[in-house]
Amino acid sequence: IINSIMRFKCVKSFMEPFPNYATLPDNAHYYIPNLPRLLNVEYEPTAEDVLHLRVPTTNINEINFNFSTCTIKLVDVGGQRTYRKKWIHCFENVAAILFVASMAAYDQSSLK
């Protein structure tokens, strides 16, 4: 059934990337064509399946690790608008800030 649905022209056109507009999660183009395999009762995730997962950051997550003689605190803050107000508390005694953006979405407009 899924293969039949995927052959419809309207579904194919929906799956084409929309420039500068985020309509589907960036991993949908991987998972939707793989639905027959993913829905199989004997399905076991592959390394590629795991690499395409998206787990949103909810709240502020911290991890400390040692590098040479330094202890580095890595702080992962949620990017959603509701979490941005909490960022201010992460900037005390900070020596560096690294912003990371998805290469799949760097040129897309936000609906927020």
The answer to the question of whether 53 is labelled as a binding residue is: yes
The answer to the question of whether 76 is labelled as a binding residue is: yes
The answer to the question of whether 78 is labelled as a binding residue is: yes
The answer to the question of whether 7 is labelled as a binding residue is: no
The answer to the question of whether 26 is labelled as a binding residue is: no
The answer to the question of whether 80 is labelled as a binding residue is: yes
79 Rama sector, left if φ>0, alpha if ψ -120 to 50, beta otherwise: alpha
- Are 73 and 60 in contact, with CB atoms under 8 Å apart? no
Residue with tokens 């309207």: 10
The answer to the question of whether 25 is labelled as a binding residue is: no
CA distances from 32 to 58, 85, 108 (A): 25, 35, 21
The answer to the question of whether 77 is labelled as a binding residue is: yes
The answer to the question of whether 55 is labelled as a binding residue is: yes
The answer to the question of whether 46 is labelled as a binding residue is: no
Six-digit token pair at 61? 């997550």
Binding site, by residue number, is: 51-57, 76-80
Binding site for GTP, by residue number, is: 51-57, 76-80
Binding site for Mg(2+), by residue number, is: 57
